[in-house]
Amino acid sequence: MAHNLLKGKKGIIFGALDDKSIAWRTALRCVEEGAEIVLTNAPIALRMGEINKLAETCKAPVIPADVTNMDDLANLFNKSMEHFGGKIDFVLHSVAMGMNIRKGRSYTDLDYDFNHKTFDISAMSLHRVLQTAYKLDALNEWASVIALSYIASQRVFPDYGEMADAKALLESIARSFGYHYGTHKKVRVNTISQSPVKTTAGGGVKGFDGFMSYAEKMSPLGNATADECANYAVAMFSDLTKMVTMQNLFHDGGFSFTGVSKPVIDQMEK
């Protein structure tokens, strides 16, 4: 059900690859809530063409940008402001790529060229996005920026590999830039630490299915879905959460604060 929570707001959504993507689900919900959006993804991801279906449904232009390329990001913000005829109210950073994981390399056998690329795409890119917006003065006062994180930034999940470090950096950038953008223009920056969801990025982690059912058993409310994550992002983009900034917000059905659950104990006793 829509409540017009984002009526009149304009946003940029990074990272919709296919209809399972958290960004895809969020784009649909933002438009349902009255927002106008611009969609963006890496040029190579756009070649698959899937995003055009979403663009049609959302009546949104698609502007290519590799998040590691400053010219692409400047072009994206400039073109988006041109399209909207004004500044931007929200940004979803829903981008990640674990290069070593992709190449099957474990945490104790990292290739550092891949490692740099992983950090650049998955974490520094948030700084790049924020710095581009800051310098172009592209965001309205009280604009809201959300990036997606995972609890492996704070607790060890062995097969999450280098992405754990990338998420720790991402959360730190949200906090640090959140301070500067907050004092400068009242822009808020947060991360949402989401339950596992079977997407292209998520499914790339070794043992993902076991991981997902463990999280489901551990969480008092069960795993949060991509659609539920989209709802949370809408709330965070709305004016109802105006004073929330510099936070890592758990959206995980209670997983992060559960030591052990009855279903997990029962499983161990079998």
Which residues lie near ligand NAI (CB under 6 A)?
15-17, 21-23, 41-42, 45, 66-68, 94-97, 121, 148-150, 194, 196-197, 199-202
Report, in Å, the least distance between residue 65 CB and ligand NAI. 6
Residue 22 vs 187, nearer CB to ligand NAI: 22
Written as six digits, the tokens of 23 are 């960004």
Please list, in sequence order, all residues whose beta carbon lies within 8 angstroms of the beta carbon of residue 210, skipping any fewer than 6 positions away. none
Residue 101 amino acid letter? I
Annotated active-site residue 150? The verdict is yes
- 125-136 vs 70-84: helix crossing angle, rounded to 10: 50
Please list, in sequence order, all residues whose beta carbon lies within 8 angstroms of the beta carbon of residue 106, skipping any fewer than 6 positions away. 100, 161
Residue 38 amino acid letter? V
Annotated active-site residue 181? The verdict is no
Residue 94 amino acid letter? S
Report, in Å, the least distance between residue 198 CB and ligand NAI. 7
Report, in Å, the least distance between residue 221 CB and ligand NAI. 16
Written as six digits, the tokens of 64 are 């290519």
Which listed residue (107, 112, 134, 160) is catalytic? 160
Residue whose Cβ sits closest to ligand NAI? 202
Q: Is 200 annotated as a binding residue?
A: yes
- Total Cβ atoms within 10 A of residue 79: 15
Report, in Å, the least distance between residue 100 CB and ligand NAI. 14
Which listed residue (107, 112, 134, 150) is catalytic? 150
Q: Is 19 annotated as a binding residue?
A: no
**SS3 of 191-220:** EEEECCCCCHHHHCCCCHHHHHHHHHHHCC
Q: Is 38 annotated as a binding residue?
A: no
Residue 34 vs 222, nearer CB to ligand NAI: 222
Q: Is 21 annotated as a binding residue?
A: yes
Q: Is 27 annotated as a binding residue?
A: no
CA dist., res. 262 & res. 102, Å (int): 34
Residue 78 vs 140, nearer CB to ligand NAI: 78
Residue positions annotated with a catalytic role: 150, 160
Residues contributing to the annotated binding site for NAD(+): 15, 21-22, 66-67, 95, 167, 197-201
